[in-house]
Structure 1
Amino acid sequence: MKFTRKANANWKGTGLEGKGTISTQSTTLDNAQLSFKTRFADGVGTNPEELIAAAHSGCYTMQLGFLLNEAGFTADNLDTEALLTFEDGTITKIHLQLSAQIPGIDNDKFQEIAATAKAVCPVSKVLNAEITLDAVLN
């Protein structure tokens, strides 16, 4: 399976005082606010790190659901929190905290499948992807 998804961001002004928006193809985000405050302090809107954490928790949880099903299990509930650490201009860590209710699975099998999901989740692997750029100055 191959598909392409898109999102776009717009920014006006300086890094500190400027403002921007971000939108997604699905319109779940539709001109959501971006600013220095929403990224580095408390403000109304979102930021890239929060979006990466949301994407990672969602992707991991869905991947785990698929792997559990392949192994013959169906989760009653999977709840994953992604805690992203940003230090000195770098995302240094994402810690996934999973709470699961899965009938009939033993802890060893659960730990094995949970670790596999972490390893094969597309967002877990995203920084190993090819990154290309088309830059146009108008």
Structure 2
Amino acid sequence: MINKHATAHWEGPIKEGKGTISTQSGALDAQPYGFNTRFEDKPGSNPEELIGAAHAACFSMALSLELEKAGVSDVVIDTKAVVSLDEEGDGFAVKKSALTTTVQGKGDEAAIRKAAEGAKTGCPISKVLNCDITLDLTIA
């Protein structure tokens, strides 16, 4: 079993309060977040962009493995994940993670497409997300 961790600190009410996020690796160290960074596009982080970063990274690694298994070589993968936070009833829910990826590599195009679909459903972050996951694949 592999365990990784991150921490969040919060002070105050939802709209005026402020928090910080830190990760075990130190990639984030007391990174600010709050209502304004989540809903008003102010500088700072928010949970949805962190989920997007995790999904893009996990999918890219899973795709790399699937491409290796398919015999595709000289692989370069660039992925963006757009995580959608939608109003739902009296709250909010993550309803979609839209993956857009470009793959460069030497190998069969059909094998690359199959590998991408396998990575979309098979990466650990895709498995934990309870939302619609789409994939827009470009083979360069």
How would you bin the TM-score normalised by the shorter chain? 0.7 to 0.9
The structure, 1 or 2, with the larger RCO (C-alpha pairs under 8 Å, 6+ apart) is 2
Give 2:121's match in structure 1, choosing from 119, 122, 134. 119
Shift of 1:106: 2.3
AA aligned to 1:40 is F
Distance 2:44 2:11 in 1: 16
Q: Match of 1:52? A: 51
Report the count of equivalent residues.
126
For the pair 1:72 / 2:71, whether they are aligned, the reply is yes
| Alignment map for 1:1-138 (pairs within 5 Å) | 2-88=1-87, 89-103=92-106, 105-127=107-129
SS where residue 123 of structure 1 aligns?
A: helix
CA shift, 1:124, in A, is 0.1
Of Structure 1 and Structure 2, the greater strand share is in: 2
* Bigger mean CA deviation after superposition, 111-120 or 75-84: 75-84
Match of 2:133 in 1: none
- One-letter identity of the residue aligned with 1:54: A
CA distance in structure 2 between the partners assigned to 1:97 and 1:25 by the alignment: 28
TM-score (norm 1): 0.87
Deviation at 1:72, TM superposition (A): 1.8
Task: Give yes or no for contact 2:70–2:111 (8 Å, CA) kept in 1.
Answer: no
Aligned 8 A contact 2:72 2:108 in 1: no
Q: List 4+ stretches of structure 1 deviating above 4 A.
A: none
Deviations 1:70-101 (A, max 9, x none): 22222431011101111100100011011111
Aligned in 2, Cα 1:79/1:115: closer, same or farther, shift over 3 Å? same
Q: Percent identity?
A: 43
- Native 8 Å contact 1:10 1:20 kept in 2: yes
User: In 2, Cα distance between the equivalents of 1:109 and 1:35?
Assistant: 43
Q: Secondary structure at the match of 1:76?
A: strand
> TM-score, normalised on structure 2?
0.86
What amino acid sits opposite 2:18 in the alignment? K
8 A contact 1:79–1:98 mirrored in 2: yes
Residue type of the partner of 2:103? A
